[in-house]
Amino acid sequence: MTYFGAMLKEWSCPAKCMRDRLLPTLVCLIMLTSLAPTASAMGPADSSIWGLSYDWAHFEGDVQNMTGVDTNAANEDLEEAAEYAGFTLETDQVLSGSSHFYVESWDESDIVEIQDIHGVTHQVSKRVTELTIRHGLLADAGFTMAWNDDSESIDVWYSASQEIVLVVDATYTEYVDSDMMVYGADLEMTGEVSDSADLSMNLQIIAAGEVEAPEIDLGYSLSMEIPSLVSQWRVDEPMDYLYDLIEPAGSDDGEDEGDDGECYLVPKDYIAPEDGWFYGSSGEEYWVEGGEDMFPEDGTFCPDGDGRDASGIIEGTYSTLTGYSLSVGMNGLPAEEFGINLDVFNVQLSDSVPGQGTFSDDFEMGSGAIWDWECPPIGGTESLTIDNVTTEVQCGLAPPISPGMAFMMGYSMIPAFDNGVSELSSVMQQQVESWIGEISGEEEGGVFVCDSGEEIPADWENDGEVDCSDGSDESDSSDTFTCDNGEVIPADWENDGEEDCSDGSDENEGPSEDVFEKYINMFEALNNSNLPKTMEAFGEKLGELVEDNVPSEPVMDLEDSCAILFWNTDESRVVGMAILNDGDGDDSSEVLLGPSIFGVREHNVDLNLEYHDGDDARDVKAGILGLTELREIAPESKHDVEELYNILGPEFLPDLDQTDTDQDGILDFFDEDDDGDGLFDWQDDDPLTPFRSPGDEEEDSVPGPGALAIVSILGAAAILIPRRDE
């Protein structure tokens, strides 16, 4: 520190010593930078921010709150009905994870210059929108069933799991002039989406003295990662969609007419039932979607507002990583009876396809806002309280993010997505075509070469008609059999009990009649047992129990729900949203989800779907920005599968870690507080070490140095050592 103090005192030295100070200055800057938070993707403190968060652990409770159906009671009903019918059934399902959707936007005052596609320079300012999406879901379900009669029995063990993750970070910078006319935008985004699932089923059937115990495992995984996507949109002529959010309500009867305001009266007779061209009075052509929605009776057609317009050019670059994995495992299938000498069979296909590329395309977009959309008692202008400040907002329907951002994301992701999946879709398409060809009996492109050298379609061979000039397409033999390896033998040698093809394909090794007889006997034995009566009794009892569980009238009538968005006309941006529902049947809705609206009541149903705005939303966003992995968004410690484990047994978690850190008798895997320090694992920075008192913590409270800090310290040391030598 002494060195840096001295360096500051010498700050006013002449220019000749600036070169000597360059390195120390850089090191100081690096050291200062290292103190700054690494996740600096937050907007300014006065930005407009709102969003939604949901903890999926509350899903069953929320379903009960909204519908009155208790899923746990439904499970109990199933088990009770099974017990009544005379067999055992245990089932459970677990869902956990979280979802977050946040939109933050702000204006920057700096004036910058950009060029439109004609090369004309415009002076504009930046409007930045950040979209942050985090969605992680863990789902497990399973059941066991055991039924037995005197000599027949069926045991089923079933387990299924699914994991889903979606991570999107997009920053959109829109260039606007003082009249909110848009001249283009830049988009930078990263994202990842993946979905994987596994299904296992073990079955044991004993009937007619036979035992069948197949085990089947199926799994898939699909993922797409976009490590980088950058695109730029520049307009042909300025776009006015932000201006739509400034216009006072009621100025155009709720219709967006576009900036030229030219509309055409469309009589009902003119309504086209299908999509087609609409010809304007001056001969212009517009591609419009048909139907009465587009041209209502005595309606008008306003080309700029209702259709998509050419709005410039978009170009960009992307890199992607698309992966998939498919697995099939089978054990204990009666394969040998079907001529397959295998007992255990596992096949896995996987691929990870890297892709990168550029794109350039005409950019067409549509926009519009509906001003006169109401959710009584909300409509027109309302007062919201955000961070204890009352803000006047316009109610209606408008895109929650800038339309330019939505269209840019769409235009940019399509080529990235196409690149990632084109190879795979090609495989699937060709395979499906091949299957269709096989099913329809069409031969694909095969040719038969006559002895004379002529070529004819393969399916003309032996069709009863001579097609080759030498007649060689019609075999002398009445019929032939073509082996899998291409050899040709007389047809009557097929299935004659002797292998004539070198690959043995002339002898059909299909299952013998004894095998089918075995399964028919098993089926008949089960049918003659008390199984049918048991299932009948189960169904009847379940019907009774479920009837008690389901309320005669739903707790909430979802049809009475209404969504509405709020925008600030001064800023031309959406600043929040709400979902309303009439909970008490007084024809006036209450706020089910949304901000505090002056004069409007909260709904009596308490959902765990959280709406945040202002500083609350900023805090949530800061907390989720660093979460990029599934296990971070959906912590395993919150996924309580202990009851499912009790039902399915060790086979459900064959590699279960037996560690019990706090020795409380609950294994860490099932324990929400592994170290027993009173903090839940998902809130605990170190879930395996008990929380220390502040006094103890002071001893090691010096924050660990980051990579940047280490570099700067090494740099400082490199500077100091030569000085000491001097």
Partner 1 sequence: MQTKEKAALALTSFLLLMAWSGTWFEISATGTYTEGLERNPTITTEYIIDASQESFEMSIENATPLLLYWIEREDVTVNAEETGNGSTNDKPSSEGPGETVEGGCQDSCLDQARGAVQVVMIALLASLCLSYVRPSIYLRTGVLVVWLIGSVVIVTAVPIAAAYDFGVTGAEGSEGSSTGGFDTATQDNSVSVNQFAHFEQSEDAKVRLSGIAFYFDSVGFDLGLLDEGDRQGVVDQKPSPGDPGYESLIRFHGELEVGPGEILTWWVFTSPVLILNLLGSRSQKLEEE
Positions in the binding site for partner 1 (CB under 8 A) = 336, 341-353, 423-424, 426-427, 430-431, 434, 445-449, 451, 458, 475, 477, 480, 482, 484-490, 493, 498-504, 507
Quote the CA–CA distance of 647 and 144 in Å, as a whole number: 7
Neighbours of 332 (CB within 10 A): 16
Q: Using alpha carbons, select from 566, 568, 596 the residue that is nearest to residue 385.
A: 596
Closest approach of partner 1 to the CB of residue 423, in Å: 5
Cβ atoms < 10 Å from Cβ of 256: 21
Beta carbon nearer to partner 1, 141 or 353: 353
User: Using CA atoms, how far apart are residues 498 and 158, in angstroms rounded to an integer?
Assistant: 44
Which residues make beta-bridge pairs with 386? 389
Q: Which of 711, 128, 708 is nearest to 405 (CA)?
A: 128
Closest CB 435 distance from partner 1, rounded Å:
11
Nearer to partner 1, 341 or 663 (CB): 341
Is 182 in contact with 174 (CB distance < 8 Å)? yes
CB of 196 to partner 1, least distance (A): 16
Short-list 371, 116, 369, CA closest to 242 = 369
Count of Cβ atoms closer than 10 Å to residue 291 Cβ: 13
Q: Which residues contact 510 (CB under 8 A, 6 or more apart)?
A: 338, 339
Cβ 449 to partner 1, closest distance in Å? 5
288 membership: H or E segment, kind and range: strand 285-288
CA geometry: angle 399, 403, 409, nearest 5 deg: 110
567 token code pair: 């925008």
CB of 213 to partner 1, least distance (A): 12
- Can you tell me the distance from the alpha carbon of 66 to that of 607, in angstroms, rounded to the nearest whole number? 8
Q: Is the dihedral of CA 291, 296, 298, 301 positive or negative?
A: negative
Residue appearing with tokens 């993750």 = 165
Residue 402 has what DSSP assignment?
-
| Beta carbon nearer to partner 1, 342 or 466 | 342
Q: Quick one: tokens of 479? A: 């019929």
Q: How far is the CB of 265 from partner 1 (least distance, A)?
A: 55
In our burial notation (b when 16+ CB lie closer than 10 A, e otherwise), range 46-63 reads: ebbbbbbbbbbbebbebe
CB of 669 to partner 1, least distance (A): 28
Nearest to 129 by CA among 242, 236, 238: 242
In the complex with partner 1, the residue whose CB is nearer, 456 or 546, is 456
Min separation Cβ 171 and partner 1, Å: 32
**Least Å distance between CB 515 and partner 1?**
14
Six-digit token string for 86: 């005379």
Q: Taking the complex as a whole, how short is the minimal distance between the CB of residue 438 and partner 1, in angstroms?
A: 13
Q: Quote the least distance from Cβ 504 to partner 1, whole Å.
A: 4
Could you count the other beta carbons within 10 Å of the beta carbon of residue 651?
12
The CA-based angle 524-529-535, given to 5 degrees, is 105
**Minimal distance, residue 451 CB to partner 1, in Å:** 7
Quote the least distance from Cβ 478 to partner 1, whole Å. 10
Beta carbon nearer to partner 1, 87 or 481: 481
Q: Is the CB of 123 or the CB of 434 nearer to partner 1?
A: 434
Q: How far is the CB of 319 from partner 1 (least distance, A)?
A: 16
Cβ proximity of 490 and 483 under 8 Å: no
Nearer residue to partner 1 within complex by CB, 467 or 500: 500
Nearer to partner 1, 348 or 604 (CB): 348
Residues in the chain: 726
In angstroms, give the least distance from the CB of 424 to partner 1: 5
In the complex, the smallest distance separating the C-beta of residue 464 from partner 1, rounded to whole angstroms, is: 17
Upstream peptide bond of 267 is cis (omega within 30 degrees of 0): no
Alpha-carbon span 304 to 66, nearest angstrom: 42
Give the CA distances from residue 577 to residues 46, 242, 498, 568, in Å, rounded to whole numbers and listed in that order: 19, 18, 77, 12
Q: Which is nearer to partner 1, 123 or 512 (CB)?
A: 512
Say if CB 247 and CB 358 are below 8 A apart.
no
Between CA 419 and CA 396 the distance in angstroms is 38
Question: Which residue do the tokens 């008490």 mark?
Answer: 584
Strands (E), 332-441: 344-365, 381-386, 389-396
Residue among 226 and 421 whose Cβ is closer to partner 1: 421
By C-beta, is 479 or 651 nearer to partner 1? 479
Distances (CA, A) of 591 to 389, 607, 646: 19, 11, 41
Q: Which is nearer to partner 1, 354 or 410 (CB)?
A: 354
User: Is 375 or 450 the residue whose CB approaches partner 1 more closely?
Assistant: 450
Nearest to 612 by CA among 101, 41, 134: 101
H helices present in 507-608, as ranges: 513-528, 531-549
* Rounded-to-integer distance, Cα 320 and Cα 358, Å: 12
Considering the complex, state which of residue 20 and residue 336 has its C-beta at the smaller distance from partner 1: 336
User: For residues 476 and 587, which CB has a smaller minimum distance to partner 1 in the complex?
Assistant: 476
Measure Cα distances from 289 to 52, 109, 295, 331 in Å.
34, 40, 9, 54
Compute the distance between CA of residue 251 and CA of residue 107 in angstroms, rounded to an integer.
26
Question: Are residues 182 and 403 in contact, defined by beta-carbon separation less than 8 angstroms?
Answer: no
Nearer to partner 1 by C-beta: 24 or 490? 490
**Which is closer to partner 1, CB of 5 or CB of 441?**
441
When the beta carbons of 133 and 501 are compared against partner 1, the nearer one is 501
Q: How far is the CB of 100 from partner 1 (least distance, A)?
A: 33
Cβ 629 to partner 1, closest distance in Å?
A: 23
